[in-house]
Amino acid sequence: MADKISIPRGTYDILPDMSYKWQYVTRAFRDIAQIFDFREIVTPIFENADLFERSVGEVTDIVEKEMYKFSDKKGRVFALRPEGTAPVVRSFIENSLHKSGNIAKLFYSGPMFRYDRPQKGRYRQFYQYGVELIGSDHPYTDAEVIALADSFMKKLGLKGYRLEINSIGCSKCSPRYDESLKKYFGLYKAELCPDCLRRLDKNPKRLLDCKNNNCRKIAENAPSILDFLDNECRSAFEMVKEYLNLMNVEFVINPRIIRGLDYYNKTAFEIITDSLGAQNAILGGGRYNTLIKDLGGPDLPAIGFAGGFERLISLMQLEKLSFGPEPAPAVYLVVLGENTIPYALEICYNLRDKEITVEFDIEKNSLKAQMKAANRANAHYALIIGEEEMDKKKVTLKNMTAGTQESLNKEELLLRLNSPIDNR
Ligand code: AMP
């Protein structure tokens, strides 16, 4: 027997019994983004590796350890995208989207790739959804983006989550804070993990977000960024909170949120759950006012977020939320005898023309086997077509739930199935 080839580690297949759930959440995200008047943007799944090295930052896990980097046949170095913001910004700049003169409100969804240690809720290929709002520094836009994330959770019916917000300051307040962190963590050098030790000088904020238990304990008493904000950052943060209150978005303040990537400033936020164990982040985002300029574009401020569909779906399953009806055919054709196939197919295509879902299994021929299959498929109706029906130019329609059966001609059948109650 030939050797089996298995799926790469850290990836998974979305099988038919799950795919309708995926469709449900991806559609729900699209719907909510459109209600807020965000437009979809689709970028390639690989980009020049430089894009991520320059934007995400070289002293981050994503760039240091997790990028799927490869060279093509001409030696160009690419990376499978580890996140969605840098590609959207690259596209925004390259296509001069700022020329419209309007704020750009963009959303995306698709696979991302990180070479991390796989575990429950953490994959090497995972699916993110996200938005980017480019062209305003007004705190209202922070609140609008956060409200969109919150509306999405509410639309899905989720309850077990918490929205946490923070301000991580700007290039003026951040260095003072970094200095105080260096001083504080410097006192514990002997106890810090090797990653933290390495980052202490270059990126001390990252120490607040280390998962190592010891480092975490030390971080608990570290200075808070909120004591270091300058007047502008402080008053912007106050306004974000005020707008969120006006929009009825519940939140808590968590001064420990720093976000993993280099390009963030001012507002940072996360949606966290206590139900999914270690991988507790459902969504994260923040403001990035310098990234567009840093990548060679105009000097425009921006804010966005990204969330993972996997954890969202896990949480929905845990909370026993609905993903809409499982797909099932409205009509299952039960065709008795080869002779009747042309007549059955004519009816089948008439129904499909009217957007009625019809299933027909050419491999089965007995009445019993086909009725059993109709049942298993959860079909609403079995449409029985035998020689007698064909000769009389009729069909027998059996309602699988009620058990009732009627003999109808083609016109009657179409009318019957077009009534909204009966045609799922
Ligand atoms: P990040 O881009 O790291 O801020 O992540 C944003 C969101 O994407 C997280 O809150 C998770 O929901 C999701 N996410 C990030 N990395 C992974 C991963 N390796 N596997 C599954 N979901 C992930």
pLDDT in tens, 42-70: 999 999 999 998 887 766 777 778 999 99
Domains of the chain plus CATH, in order, are 16-173+229-318 (3.30.930.10), 331-417 (3.40.50.800)
Does ligand 1 have an atom closer than 6 angstroms to the CB of 123? yes
**Contact (Cβ atoms closer than 8 angstroms) between residue 287 and residue 303:** yes
Does ligand 1 have an atom closer than 6 angstroms to the CB of 281? yes
User: Considering the entire predicted model, what is its pTM?
Assistant: 0.91
Exposure class string for 276-310: b at 16+ Cβ within 10 A, else e = beebbbbbbbbbbbbbbeebebeebbbbbbbbbbb
Atom index in ligand 1 nearest the CA of residue 124 equals 19
pLDDT band at 262 (very low <50, low <70, confident <90, very high): low
| Portion of the chain with pLDDT greater than 90, in percent | 86
Does ligand 1 have an atom closer than 6 angstroms to the CB of 263? no
Does ligand 1 have an atom closer than 6 angstroms to the CB of 308? yes
122, 124, 161, 271: residue to mutate for ligand 1 pocket, most atoms within 8 A of CB: 122
pLDDT in tens, 140-193: 999 999 999 999 999 999 999 999 999 999 988 989 999 999 999 999 999 999
pLDDT of residue 279: 86
Does ligand 1 have an atom closer than 6 angstroms to the CB of 283? yes
29, 112, 272: residue to mutate for ligand 1 pocket, most atoms within 8 A of CB: 112
Please give the distance of CA 190 from its chain centroid, rounded to a whole number.
40
Among protein residues, the one whose CA lies closest to atom 15 of ligand 1: 308
Among protein residues, the one whose CA lies closest to atom 11 of ligand 1: 308
DSSP 122: B
Average pLDDT over residues 88-95: 98
From the CA of 282, how far away is ligand 1's center (Å)?
Answer: 7
pLDDT of residue 422: 44
| Portion of the chain with pLDDT greater than 70, in percent | 97
- Of 409, 332, 317, nearest in space to 376 by CA: 332
Among protein residues, the one whose CA lies closest to atom 10 of ligand 1: 283
From the CA of 308, how far away is ligand 1's center (Å)?
Answer: 5
Tokens describing residue 358: 């019809």
Does ligand 1 have an atom closer than 6 angstroms to the CB of 128? yes
Average pLDDT over residues 251-256: 95
From the CA of 314, how far away is ligand 1's center (Å)?
Answer: 13
Does ligand 1 have an atom closer than 6 angstroms to the CB of 310? yes
Count how many Cα atoms sit within 13 Å of the Cα of residue 89 in the half-sphere of its side chain.
Answer: 30
Average pLDDT over residues 316-331: 95
Q: Could you tell me if residue 88 is left (phi over 0), alpha (psi between -120 and 50 degrees) or otherwise beta? A: alpha
Q: What is the mean pLDDT of the chain?
A: 94
